[in-house]
Amino acid sequence: MEYQSYSPTQASERLVAIDLIRGVALLGILIMNIQAFSMIFSAYSNPTTYGDLSGINYYVYYFSHIFANQKFMTIFSLLFGCSIVLMAENIAKKGGNATKIHYKRMFILAIVGIAHAYLLWFGDILFPYAIAGVLAYLARNLTVKSLVLQGFFWVAISALLMWLVGMSLPHWEASELEMINAIWSPNAEQIAQDLANNRASWLGQMETRHLMASKMHTNIIFYIPRILGLMLVGMALYKMDFFGKRFSTKSLVTFGVISLLISVIAIVVEVEQNFAQQWAVELMFFGVQYNYWASILMALSYMSLLMAFSRMNVFTGFTRNVANVGKMALTNYLLHTLICCFIFYGWGLGLYGSLERIEQIAVVVVVWIFQLVFSTYWMNRFKFGPFEWIMRLLTYGSFQTIQK
């Protein structure tokens, strides 16, 4: 990238850019999460297992996989790492104990994540982020070069673990293969049972929810290294002032466009290969490798283009609204769960398994509009989102006014 002549960026300038990017990531992540809320679990990774996959629904899958799958989660991880350094610096400047406050915050986030997973929705990301955040904090004082090298080392570990498991499949027992096939491509009876379980009441759904949540936590070893690695890269981005004035607008756009094209080509190749191999169970481990790496490049592309866009001073009202969503990321993330659980599960409208992919996108757009309006309304009146305020109270152990 081309460097431009720059002076140290003010913290407020960094925060505006970070809030905008976080807001886009928060809204974008629902494109994928809506599939986990509304359809059987396997359909998230293997689109042939459930629902119509022709016409417009095929294109919804295709484009959501290319442009959304893992991209916004990657951005969240990068920004989480950035926020670790940013908060530690701010606390240290005020004479506080940054280490104590960070670990207390991670402990609270882990508790919230466990409650989220076992009481509402198994697809929680807060608990693994808290675990990775505990580890990432130890690296906050490393140089940019060390953070990048160690970051991609840990990212590679997750990819290697998946590849090794895939290579071991021929040596699995028949019962183990049957179990993994039930996850990747369930039969009609298993699908019917899943539909019935998730259309049940909150209590009736509890056994299924707890089982899925425990599986997610058991498999944490496969994705914690990736999250940790991305957090370290996010720290490096912050230290090189990526979110400030370090790079010129021209260089950001150039990098953004080129990296977007490269990553799109790689992911299209992956999708076409997966369809050609008829979504065999081995693809659970091998068929994700292109997107695994290309999603990082695409996430950096999105961030670069958003940084450039934020400097153009166009659609400033809309940009502020999206940034407001980012300021309330925790609140809006939990709102995704509350809204979608009500729409799809049996203790709400019970539409689980009933909406095709194009109809799911319609729900996404409605939720986006609501969150843009709600977040702007709230942030015009209050300093923090409601859940962000509660986190601050618990973390700092003292009352803080929420009203502006």
Kindly write down the DSSP assignment for every residue of 265-326, as one continuous string. Answer: HHHHHHHHHHHHTTT-GGGGTSTTHHHHHHHHHHHHHHHHHHHHHHHTT-SHHHHHHHHHHH
As a residue count, the chain comes to 404
> How far is it, in rounded angstroms, from Cα 22 to Cα 30?
13
| Amino acid at residue number 147 | L
| Residue-level pLDDT at 312 | 87
Q: How many CB atoms lie within 10 A of CB 392?
A: 17
Q: Which residues contact 113 (CB under 8 A, 6 or more apart)?
A: 124, 125, 126, 127, 128, 129, 130
| Residue-level pLDDT at 274 | 97
250: DSSP letter: H
| Residue-level pLDDT at 14 | 56
Q: Which of 75, 61, 46, 72 is nearest to 336 (CA)?
A: 72
| Residue-level pLDDT at 6 | 33
| Residue-level pLDDT at 141 | 95
> How far is it, in rounded angstroms, from Cα 17 to Cα 36?
30
Q: Is 205 within 8 Å of 197 (Cβ atoms)?
A: yes
Residue ranges covered by each domain of the chain:
11-396
217: DSSP letter: H
What is the gyration radius of the CA atoms in the chain, in angstroms?
Answer: 21
Note down pLDDT in tens along the chain; length 404 residues: 544 433 333 445 457 889 999 999 999 999 999 999 999 999 999 999 999 999 999 999 999 999 999 999 999 999 999 999 999 998 988 888 999 999 999 999 999 999 999 999 999 999 999 999 999 999 999 999 999 999 999 999 999 999 999 999 999 999 999 999 999 999 999 999 999 999 999 999 999 999 999 999 999 999 999 999 999 999 999 999 999 888 999 999 999 999 999 999 999 999 999 999 999 999 999 999 999 999 999 999 999 999 999 988 878 889 999 999 999 999 999 999 999 999 999 999 999 999 999 999 999 999 999 999 999 999 999 999 999 999 999 998 888 889 88
| Residue-level pLDDT at 5 | 38
| Amino acid at residue number 190 | Q
403: DSSP letter: B
**Angle (nearest 5°) at CA 186 between 180 and 189:** 130
- 47 half-sphere exposure, CB direction, 13 A CA radius: 21
pTM for the whole structure: 0.94
> How far is it, in rounded angstroms, from Cα 207 to Cα 204?
7
